Amino acid sequence: MTVKPNTPKNIDEYIAGFPADIQAILQKIRVTVQKAAPDAQESISYQIPAFTLHGQLVYFAAFKNHIGFYPPVTGGDRQFKKAIAVYAGPKGNLKFPLDQPIPYPLIEKIVKIRVKENLASVRAKGKKKQTP
């Protein structure tokens, strides 16, 4: 596999490629994800920061006017869905505008929901394999 010269090798390199104010936001998102999913593994996927835990967990990326957060979130209660609707972007991904406070507690909740979804998926696959 050929790596493009500007493709970061890790999340530290990705974050270092941005101005200091954006670096601070990206680092705080990283720490928020780490606290919500301490067993998740960091990587670069699609040239952006990614976390995996029993499959893909979350990705995030900085853009000119927002931070993108992926993948689309399907779980959660009505109140949660209302909270994320404000940030809805294309295809269900979330866009956190840089001219507004980043909702770190919401990011934490998203990660915890994704962890539950991934664990449920693993359990469901295990049950299917055990069925004769």
Burial class (CB in 10 A: 0-12, 13-18, 19+), 54: middle
Give the per-residue pLDDT at 20.
97
Predicted confidence at residue 132, as pLDDT, reads 47
Report all structural domains of the chain as residue ranges with CATH numbers, in order of start: 11-126 (3.90.1150.200)
> What local confidence, expressed as pLDDT, does residue 90 receive?
80
Residue 30, pLDDT score: 98
Q: What is the pLDDT of residue 127?
A: 63
pLDDT of residue 56: 94
Kindly state the DSSP code that residue 74 receives in the 8-state scheme. -
pLDDT attached to residue 5? 56
pLDDT for the residue 23: 97
**Mean pLDDT by groups of 10 residues along the chain of 132 residues:** 68 96 98 97 96 95 96 84 90 93 96 92 70 46
- Distance, CA of 72 to CA of 85 (rounded, Å): 11
Asked whether 73 and 110 are in contact (CB, 8 A), the reply is: yes
Q: Supply the pTM of this predicted model.
A: 0.88
What pLDDT sits at residue 130? 46
Interhelix angle 20-36/104-130, nearest 10 degrees: 40
**What is d(CA 72, CA 94) in angstroms, rounded to the nearest whole number?**
7
Query: What are the two backbone dihedrals, phi and then psi, of residue 99, each rounded to the nearest 5 degrees?
Result: -90, 10
Structure tokens belonging to residue 119: 């664990």
